Structure 1
């Protein structure tokens, strides 16, 4: 079979074979004997992808043939969904009966590919009971099988309904956390972190995951020691967790501020974005202590040399620091040579949010300067008045 298509009964056939059957005058489904409601053929894209993948693995040439048909969309959707269900059911049943690691790995890889395809495939895979099967492979010593299992769950988690299934199916969340902590490869750990990121898109799950010390420490370890892609996956999950005020406390306890300092030079955008949220959620004292007075300088460098996104986060962070840290922090910022010019540049060329934050920074700096000038003028006037009074009083 090279070009699988689905007929109105939901059965899949090779296009050339079923076309010949219909053109020969038959109006029934060869397998079920049912009369065909129509003779439109819907491509079974899920199965076609699997065939193409198998051909690549076996080094068999596979030439894709696309046929442009425009059947009724309702019929197309219903027929295509039946085809996906059939394919998923076949794979899950095979996986249940599979006896060798190699065969299991191939089947899980096929589910991984399907789960990446579309929402219907993600729904069908979860409803077919794949999650309890995948849990068993998260702890596998076979590296490829572990990667395929955790990545399949990651792809399934894209669908909102599946986030609940993942959180509530026995062993799935713990399995993901264990892969995050001690997975066999960086790829497996990174995809486990990406799954945590996906799950934290739901507020209730963000709170729940943010309370787990194992999750927080594992993400911070990966952000410190992993390769760039895995670090980025971990930091995006940390950024989501930091959206919850209680989780920020756990992150600070576990060393998030120190981690930011370690990766600031290589992953500037992610590091400054996390720093912004930590400061906003009450972590200014921890940040100030960790940076030993260099925090404002580091952010100013990002403000001057960073990407648009990094400059936006840096400007927002500096606004929070100035508002929460008082005149001492504003004075530190004002003392940096050329700071007003940098702020003016962002006001003219930054993103919309960066321009707004830069304008706020400029107002803060000018009010601070005006306050100092006012105090200085008040002091001078008082001194002059006192001296004048002294001159008047003494001759008397």
Structure 2
């Protein structure tokens, strides 16, 4: 039915749940699930009395032909045999030919990239094939430097990179290709094109660009190079605003977290106003759990620097927002929040931060947290914080003791 040299996406509901092959004679059980006749008959003949997909006990082992599905499969099969679309049904040899056209200035054809991209999007198998093709990744990176091709051309390249980058077996090679200057005297690297896509690209392309950047940040050297690229961190921060799409925010946050390990990168983040950006996001309503966790992770990261702690402590609204997330989002979010509070209030004894925590009802949160099923590390940090507030806010805690001694941890 399907030629062996073509990579074709088969609609999932055309496949038998048992054999995973395209069904030749689809039949439905009493549970409503459809199987290929030979596969389900073999299942029942082996003494089984359940539906393989749902594991429901069958009150009858009879099945009925699914004529509608059989008709759809036949129409689909005929369309492949009689009128294949040469753009979407590329063979491996055709894809390699399209790659050679992109790689040759004399034969260069922009349409070849669109064909390769459709092939890449078609299946995991296709992406594996391209990742194993030695010349493909260097070609994509080299073409990224061709900003004269226009933003749409760059978007297609970034999409293709994003699709195959997870299949690359040698992250060091990927890093070297993406970060080195191409050619003698060249001042431009692939980072310039990724930045351009972040600035001018479509919504989807911006997300893909952030993901590619995260994938390249594999070691201290690459994190520093990305973090110190002029305009890159600023643009990522510009895309982290409450009115932006949550997927875009989350991917930009993931990228910033990935590159923020070196101290120089943390200091740069602080200098560019990261604390104010994150504070604004934390105060926004209806944040997803994953976005909240990543915001708090980045706040915790910058709090490990003197500059970051100073910014956090000067922003009472930020401290209050951090306190507000304790016990409200997830155990991961709580741990990031408590670690930041412990850093500014206990480890570095900042009085402004302590006062902001007290005003935000942080003592209650800390006491409740110690009664919860939190990790030993969080419990210890909470105990340390409580000691600070017992010393510095005796009157407040004394009042709290007389009213709610049932939750005191000692």
TM-score (norm 2): 0.62
Aligned pair partner of 2:218 in 189, 198, 201: 201
- Inter-partner Cα distance in structure 2 for 1:307 and 1:138: 43
Match of 1:251 among 262, 265, 269: 269
Secondary structure of 2:240's aligned partner: helix
Corresponding residue for residue 318 of structure 2: 295
Higher relative helix content: 1
2:172 paired with 1:155:
no
Is the CA contact 2:99–2:136 (under 8 Å) kept in the aligned structure 1? no
Q: State the structure with more CA Rg.
A: 1
Q: Secondary structure at the match of 1:243?
A: coil
2:176 paired residue among 137, 158, 164: 164
What is residue 119 of structure 2 aligned with on the other side?
110
The residue aligned with 1:268 is 292
Q: Which of 205, 226, 231 matches 2:249?
A: 231
The superposition leaves residues 232-277 of structure 1 with CA deviations (integer Å, 9 ceiling, x where unpaired) of 1111111122222101221122221121122223332221111110
CA distance in structure 2 between the partners assigned to 1:111 and 1:191 by the alignment:
15
Cα offset, 1:209, TM superposition: 1.2
Q: Does 1:240 align with 2:258?
A: yes
Confirm whether residue 359 of structure 1 aligns to residue 380 of structure 2.
yes
Question: Helix, strand or coil for the counterpart of 1:206?
Answer: helix
Compute the displacement of 1:104 (Å). 3.4
Quick check: 2:165–2:212 contact (8 Å CA) kept in 1? yes
Once the two structures are superposed, what CA deviation does each residue of 1:339-365 show, in whole Å capped at 9, x if it has no partner?
Answer: 345544366334x3xx41232222331
Which of 59, 84, 97 lines up with 1:90 in the alignment?
A: 97
**Are the counterparts in 1 of residues 279 and 321 from structure 2 also a CA contact under 8 Å?**
no
List alignment gaps of at least 5 residues for structure 2.
Answer: 24-90, 183-188, 395-410
Structure 1 Cα separation of the partners of residues 348 and 217 of structure 2: 30
The CA deviation string for residues 89-123 of structure 1, in whole angstroms up to 9 with x for no partner, is 33412444776655531223324557886666424
Change in CA separation of 1:336 and 1:114 when aligned onto 2, cut-off 3 Å: closer
Task: Quickly say closer, same or farther: Cα 1:303–1:114, change in 2 above 3 A.
Answer: same
Structure-1-length-normalised TM-score: 0.64
How many residues are treated as equivalent by the alignment?
A: 303
